[in-house]
Structure 1
């Protein structure tokens, strides 16, 4: 994670915003040496919100866990088979 003090972040805000759109790396902004804020891209922010929504839905979490367990056990169907049946 990149760290930057508030004064530097103010000076470089335009570039930080452009850079955030091109990377998933967050920038932690410090004030008097303390971590106070994080700058992330809109895409990363929306992804975090979506993850939070998924994790709030216990039924969905159980379905995902069950599906992952099936994959681990090898109970999968190849894409070729699915495509062939379509």
Structure 2
């Protein structure tokens, strides 16, 4: 970390020019990573793309399984009322 403090500008410049990360260690343990903004944005975009693919894959699996037992919405509303600790309060009390 001491070295990183001294050469921070050079570390940033190298990260931007090479696209390679710079790992910052404290007592021989990794503490941080310095990346160029371009590399960071690629990582975030890749993560978001994978997350979206996983979501749609899961959604597709559920759709392919077909419908299970359908529960009428009235039953859901009634069941939630039984467990709702706020159901006895008026709108004025809830939204004061």
TM-score tier (shorter): 0.5 to 0.7
- Distance in 2, Cα, partners of 1:59 & 1:48: 16
User: 5 Å matches for 1:32-71?
Assistant: 32-58=27-53
Larger Rg computed on CA atoms: 2
Q: Quote how far apart the aligned CAs of 1:23 are.
A: 1.1
Residue 78 of structure 1: aligned partner: none
When you count strand as a share of all residues, which structure comes out higher? 1
Task: Give the length in aligned residue pairs.
Answer: 57
Q: Quote how far apart the aligned CAs of 1:33 are.
A: 0.9
Residue 7 of structure 1: aligned partner: 2
RMSD: 1.9
Query: What TM-score do you get using the length of structure 2 for normalisation?
Result: 0.54
Listed as ranges, the gaps of 5+ residues in structure 1 are 1-5, 63-86
With over 3 angstroms needed to count, the CA separation of the structure-2 counterparts of 1:60 and 1:30, relative to structure 1, is same
Q: Quote how far apart the aligned CAs of 1:18 are.
A: 1.0
Runs of 4+ in 1 over 3 A off after TM superposition: 59-62
Query: What TM-score do you get using the length of structure 1 for normalisation?
Result: 0.60
Listed as ranges, the gaps of 5+ residues in structure 2 are 58-96
